[in-house]
Amino acid sequence: MRLSSRIVAARPCVPVLVATLAPLLMVIACGEPEQSTGSTPPRMVAGQPRTFPAEALRLSGRDDLVLAEGNHGIQLNLAEYNARVYESPLPADMDTVTAQWETLQRLVYHKVAAAEGRLRGYGTQGATTTLEEEIMLARQVLQAGMVDAQNVGDAQAREYHRLHREQFPEISPEDLDEPTTLMHVKFSMHNVAWRERLNEWLDREEVIVHRGRFEKLQQAPSSLDSSESKENRL
């Protein structure tokens, strides 16, 4: 299973567009929200769009129940899932089951990006917990990708726009003379490459998501047995 993608039709400010490149990470927008430790939701800022209530994403069950695992120490259990549901706000109109599953996917992708950061030898000086280390590693991987996007040549971006006009129904070739609009196309190009790269890392790390366990938690947590497991590759 692959992470579903949504093409941005409008022309958001570049920092918001950057966030679409890595939904696995904590939101990066025109104003980065406060980070949450998991016990307290981040403080809302006036004017922000309504988001799905994070508390509704939590699930009841054994804290040590493994929901996903893979190579290089990748592991996500229920306790960590519940502690991190505030990190990636979702649209308010999503149904609960879909929002919970998307949250799980984002956390798995975050761990995969952190594993990539370890393989690249990125530093984690100052980290005091495994989670802090993973956040630092994944953020560095994202930042490197953002630099790649900004370094795409103008001619390459214009050619991409010409070949993929359906992705940019509101942008004409003449609009590309505006630097911000051209940058939007560059980030859209990189968004496609980023998703492909994430999927390559998922395969390399042989990540298994125990979707059967997760679905049991969503339906009847008290009846869950860790042996009842339908495994999926993301």
The domain spans of the chain are 55-232
Q: What is the pLDDT of residues 157-190, one digit of tens each?
A: 999 999 999 999 999 999 999 999 999 999 899 8
pLDDT at 148: 86
- Distance set, CA 205 to CA 25, 120, 156, 233 (Å): 18, 14, 32, 10
Instruction: Give the tokens for residue 82.
Output: 């519940």
Report whether pLDDT(5) > 80.
no
Just give the CATH number of 55-232.
1.10.4030
The CB density around residue 27, as the number of other CB atoms within 10 Å, is 17
Looking at every residue in the chain, the average pLDDT score rounds to: 80
Note the pLDDT tens digit of each residue in 71-95: 999 999 999 999 999 988 898 889 9
pLDDT tens-place string over residues 91-137? 888 999 999 999 999 999 999 999 999 999 999 999 999 999 999 99
